Amino acid sequence: MYNGKIIDSHMHLCNLSTGNYDWLTSERPEQIQILGEGYSFLAKNFLPEDYEALAKPENIVGTVHLQYEANDSIKETQWLTHQTLKTGIPNAIVAQVNLSERDAAKHLKTHLLSPYLKGIRMLLTYYEGKPALSLTDQNHFKNPVWQKNFSLLKPLNLSFDVQIYDTQADDLIATATKHPDVPIMVNHLLWPIDSSGEGFAFWQKQIKKLAACENVHMKISGAAVIFKQLSVPQLIPYVETILEYFTPKRCVVGSNYPPEGVFTGFHHIWDAYRTLLNSLSQSEQASIFYHNAKSFYRIESI
């Protein structure tokens, strides 16, 4: 079983006293639909010292913070930068910028005042006609302002993390093909919207098509939130498919904690991923657990 260094490529922090996380203090139907009735588990502070206490036994030496739906994403980046300077956590920041806003360029440059800013993320999970399954009110891929602002990422040396459903893969393929020099990290397994046998076959087809874009990478994360449990047997065909098409060279792992904590424990997450990846060589496992995230997020200080 892998016992080497780990970079957690997907974690979150928050301090509710900042007043910057309304979604954690007022339950919303779309969040309950996705996170379940245990949603209230998240309505508390999760600070660097809380994360560090959990991470120490796992040999986690680096962390990538993904935007956490703050009311004011610039204030979130500023707060995170202060935490890094004070505690060393996180090592990299992936901020929230809405590329469909006309002043996105200004926001990008403000976020870049942080030396730890490496990329941006948008939650683009959208299911037309089913607002309870959508975390956005539109298909941003079809928005010309979004497409124009996406072209700003390469000149600013920023990567793009994205959360989408498998039904949206074709839109991402078109964007990745148009912008081959922008590194793209797909979060949470390319979220399969249907876990039936037929749904898995569709997801598998989408993974194969998406992996043909060499600038697209895959994050093995979010499984407990997707399936409302963390079951190694259930995940085996998903992880095997991802490894077949993306290869260990374009995969990373992340805890997605604390959201995963609604359904499972922090240590079980890492035990599950070690088990799922145990058939790979030690060097391949080291790539997925450590080297790939270090390279993708340009982390130099660990």
Structure confidence at residue 37 as a pLDDT band (50, 70, 90): low
Strand locations in the chain, DSSP E?
6-11, 60-66, 92-96, 117-123, 159-163, 184-186, 216-220, 251-253
Residue 134 has pLDDT above 80, yes or no: no
Please give the share of the chain, as a percent, with pLDDT higher than 90. 86
Residue 26 has a pLDDT of 74
Q: Beginning with the edge strand found earlier in the chain, give each strand of the sheet holding 6-11 in spatial order.
A: 6-11, 60-66, 92-96, 117-123, 159-163, 184-186, 216-220, 251-253
Tell me the per-residue pLDDT of 248-284, one tens digit each, with 9 for 90 and over. 999 999 999 999 999 999 999 999 999 999 999 999 9
φ, ψ at 242 (rounded to 5°):
-60, -45
Whether residue 1 contacts residue 274, with contact meaning beta carbons closer than 8 Å, is answered with yes
Q: Taking residues 26-50, what's their average pLDDT?
A: 77
pTM above 0.85, yes or no: yes
Tell me the per-residue pLDDT of 177-234, one tens digit each, with 9 for 90 and over. 999 999 999 999 999 999 999 999 999 999 999 999 999 999 999 999 999 999 999 9
Residue 25 has a pLDDT of 80
The average confidence (pLDDT) of the chain is 95
Residue 30 has pLDDT above 70, yes or no: no
Whether residue 78 contacts residue 86, with contact meaning beta carbons closer than 8 Å, is answered with no
Q: Taking residues 76-94, what's their average pLDDT?
A: 98
Torsional sign, CA 137, 140, 143, 145 = positive
Interacting residues of 247 by C-beta distance below 8 A, sequence separation 6+: none
* CA–CA gap between residue 205 and residue 234 (Å, rounded): 18
